[in-house]
Structures are given as C-alpha cells and as structure tokens.
Amino acid sequence: MRIRKVRLIGFRNYEEAIVGFRPGLNILIGNNGQGKTNLLESVYFLSTTKSHRRASDEEMMMNGKEYFQLDCITENDDGSSRFSAVIHKKGKTFCVRGEPVKKMSDYVGKLNAVIFSPLDMGMFDSSPTDRRRFLDIELGKMSKIYITFLNQYSNLLKNRNIALKKEVPDRVLIDAISEQMVGPQTEIIRQRYHFIQQLNRTVSEYYRKLSGTGGKITLAYESMVAYHADDSILRGLIQNRIANTLERDLITRMTNTGIQREDMEFFLDGHPVKAYASQGQKRMIVIALKLSLVNLIKERTGEYPVLLLDDVLSELDESRRNALIELLPEGVQTIITATEKEAIDPRLWNKAKIIKIEKGSAAEWMNSTTSN
C-alpha cells in the first residue's frame, strides 16, 4: 500500500493543503511547530480513525473551525483507492471510494500505517494501558474478528460491572454474563499470544542491526491464564480464573480479572527493559519493534503498511541513522520528519522526496534529483 496524495482541510494548522508522496522514502523537513507531526497524524488518523497523540476529534479541528476533512488516494498492485474522513463536532463519516462505511471494523485495516513517535517511549512506563492499546490497535489492523470480539467483550464487561454494583447483585445474571465472556476472551488471548510470539521472532535481529551491538529482546505476555494451545483447555482455564475471582469481584464490586487487565513486558538479555535499558536503547527497542510489526503486517495481510517515523532522526547518531535507513524494506513507503539542522546524508536525497513544511503548508523541495 502506498499513499499518492493526502488532502487536509481545517486540520490542525492546515487550512487547506494537498501533499503528494512518492512510493519509497519521503522526508518532511521543517522547523519546530510548522506541522510535520500534524501531517503524520492526519495519515495515522485516516488509517486508524484515531490520533496517535490521543487527541480528541475537536482538538484536531483548526482553531475556530467546525469540522475537518481528510482525503487520501492510495495505490497498490490492484489499482488505486480513496479514503476520506469528515469530522464534525456532532458526528463523523468515514468513506472508502466515496462510500460511507457503517461499522469502523469495515474501515480499519484497509489503509494500514505504523507510526513511531516519541510518545511510544511511554511503552515502558509503569501503566499497562499503552501496551494493551498497542496490542489492540495493531491486532485490529490484521484481524477484523479481533475488533468484533474486543467490542463484544467490552460491552459484557460494562454490563457485568453494572450488575456487580447493584445493591443485591443478581448472581444468576453475573454467571450468565461471565459465561458469555469466555468465548471472546479465548480468541483475544490466542491472538495476543501468537502476535507476541511472532514479534519475538524478528525483533532481536532488527535491534542488533540498528544498535550495532548484540542483545536479545524478548516480549513476555502477562496473560490472565497460562496459555494453552488446546481450545477447550484454554476455555477451562479462563472459566476457572473467572470463578476463582468471583468472591473478590462481589466484595470490590468490579471485575478483577480478564483481558482488560493483561500486560506484556520487555526484556533485554533477560533484564526488564524498564529499569535496565538506557534511553537510547529503549528508543532502538521501540524502533525494532515497529520494524518487526511492519513485516508481520506484510506477512499477514499481504501488504506493507505505510511507515511513519516522527522525530527519530534527531534522536539517533549518524551511524544509527544510516542503519535505520538501510533497514527500511525496499517496498515500504516511509514518511519521516527531520529539521533542517540535521545533516541528512546527501546520498539519501537521490532516493527520497523532500517536502518542506512551513506554517501548515507543504512544498516539494528542489533536490539533487530534480535540479540536475
């Protein structure tokens, strides 16, 4: 999947802009506060219907505007396609080829993008929220059924918590809801387990190439139950776990176990990354993770996602920067931000389209390929 162009109307500091991209490497150059991250955010929004900065829809509307609109034209081996989003204060519409979609699960997964942003460093914080969000968003890109089960589960969880908060909780109702929760949880746990296994296959290799040093990266799944490949055994383990937690749930009047409490942990050579790795190592671990993800999405969907890299060049030294550029697979369209101060290897300029971002407008920069 490649993006040919994006149009932004009333989005952040873009009044109206059309930006064209080339299939391989695209570099957004501009000083701070000009709109580089905003442009990446618009692509990510078209891909996932959400801001990678956790911004609300209204925050993304240009100050003083009532709505924003984003469109993009994509192409792959099957031809071209069009994705649009119109977000008003009172509602939103997402369209594929001009046709509004009814369910978000019919939209998400068609235009996949993977982003690295400095915010991803929150992955190693103490709160598991960002890690679960990572699992859910990335699995949602590859599996429609995952989104469906996740929505089913979160409705059941809401109802179970309401039932637990009643003055006299209805045990029959709680048991019935608990039983319905087992199916979605079995599938979600299975998918999370395989996803983490698959990332583990490649992440150390990317880390090694990026860092220039060794180091084994391991992701450990902290599941509500010990995983078992057999479906009925896994179901049984989940049922037991729910049954064993019921007393506590009745006392605390909330659901204390389930996929909403799961987590994963990162290890570098067997040490917990959170407390052990340096800031630079953490950054390379996250980048390696994102590169593994790009490959996994290709493996599972047949198509590379668009790779969005924000503020990554400024944080890496020259050799790491070059290693990263070398690691980008040939077929992956990449959009990467940079400030003018950063010495970008002139050899790169021949491979890349340089787009100058200034005060919410974008212009193609004359580079060595176009000026010679």
Ligand X SMILES: Nc1ncnc2c1ncn2[C@@H]1O[C@H](COP(=O)(O)OP(=O)(O)O)[C@@H](O)[C@H]1O
Identity of the residue, 41 or 249, whose beta carbon is nearer to ligand X in the bound complex = 41
The nearest distance, CB 92 to ligand X, in angstroms, is 16
Q: Do the beta carbons of residue 48 and residue 108 sit within 8 Å?
A: yes
Residue whose pair of structure tokens reads 């609300």 in the numeric block: 56
Identity of the residue, 2 or 12, whose beta carbon is nearer to ligand X in the bound complex = 12
**31-58 core/surface letters (b: 16 or more CB in 10 A; e: else):** eeebbbbbbbbbbbbbbbbbbbbeeebe
The nearest distance, CB 70 to ligand X, in angstroms, is 14
Identity of the residue, 69 or 148, whose beta carbon is nearer to ligand X in the bound complex = 69
Binding residues with Mg ion: total (CB under 5 A)? 2
Query: Residue 63's binding partner, choosing from ligand X, Mg ion, none, with beta-carbon cut-off 5 to 8 A by kind?
Result: ligand X
Phi first, then psi: what are they for 17, rounded to 5°?
A: -150, 145
Q: Quick one: which of 4, 13, 200, 205 contacts ligand X (CB under 6 A)? A: 13
The nearest distance, CB 324 to ligand X, in angstroms, is 19
Q: CB under 8 Å to 242, separation ≥6 — which residues?
A: 178, 181, 182, 257, 258
The nearest distance, CB 332 to ligand X, in angstroms, is 22
What's the chain's Rg over C-alpha atoms? 22
Residues 294-323 that bind Mg ion (CB under 5 A): none
x/- mask, ligand X, residues 14-33, rule CB under 6 A, reads ----------------x-xx
The nearest distance, CB 191 to ligand X, in angstroms, is 34
Which whole-number Å values give the CA distances from 99 to 69, 85, 86, 102, 107, in the listed order?
Answer: 15, 11, 12, 10, 11
Residues 34-63 that bind Mg ion (CB under 5 A): 36-37
The nearest distance, CB 58 to ligand X, in angstroms, is 8
Between CA 49 and CA 104 the distance in angstroms is 8
Query: Residue 38's binding partner, choosing from ligand X, Mg ion, none, with beta-carbon cut-off 5 to 8 A by kind?
Result: ligand X
The nearest distance, CB 310 to Mg ion, in angstroms, is 6
Between CA 282 and CA 288 the distance in angstroms is 10
The nearest distance, CB 169 to ligand X, in angstroms, is 45
Query: Residue 150's binding partner, choosing from Mg ion, ligand X, none, with beta-carbon cut-off 5 to 8 A by kind?
Result: none
The nearest distance, CB 303 to ligand X, in angstroms, is 27
Long-range contacts from 149-157, C-beta under 8 angstroms, 24+ separation: 149/183, 149/184, 149/187, 149/188, 150/184, 150/188, 151/105, 152/184, 153/181, 153/184, 153/185, 153/188, 153/258, 153/259, 153/260, 154/260, 156/180, 156/181, 156/184, 157/181, 157/255, 157/258, 157/260
What does DSSP say about strands 91-96 and 99-100: parallel, antiparallel, or unpaired? antiparallel
Between CA 64 and CA 57 the distance in angstroms is 14
Query: Residue 333's binding partner, choosing from ligand X, Mg ion, none, with beta-carbon cut-off 5 to 8 A by kind?
Result: none
Identity of the residue, 277 or 316, whose beta carbon is nearer to ligand X in the bound complex = 316
Identity of the residue, 62 or 210, whose beta carbon is nearer to ligand X in the bound complex = 62
Query: Residue 30's binding partner, choosing from Mg ion, ligand X, none, with beta-carbon cut-off 5 to 8 A by kind?
Result: ligand X
Site for ligand X contains 160 (CB under 6 A)? no
SS (H, E, C) 109-176: CCCCEEEECHHHHHHHCCCCHHHHHHHHHHHHHHCHHHHHHHHHHHHHHHHHHHHHHCCCCCHHHHHH
**Judged by CB under 5 A, which stretch of 31-39, 146-154, 167-175, 340-348 contacts Mg ion?**
31-39
What does DSSP say about strands 352-358 and 361-364: parallel, antiparallel, or unpaired? antiparallel
Query: Residue 13's binding partner, choosing from Mg ion, ligand X, none, with beta-carbon cut-off 5 to 8 A by kind?
Result: ligand X
Identity of the residue, 33 or 212, whose beta carbon is nearer to ligand X in the bound complex = 33
Query: Residue 62's binding partner, choosing from Mg ion, ligand X, none, with beta-carbon cut-off 5 to 8 A by kind?
Result: ligand X
x/- mask, ligand X, residues 34-63, rule CB under 6 A, reads xxxxx--------------------x-xxx
> Site residues (CB under 6 A) for ligand X?
12-13, 30, 32-38, 59, 61-63, 357
> Site residues (CB under 5 A) for Mg ion?
36-37
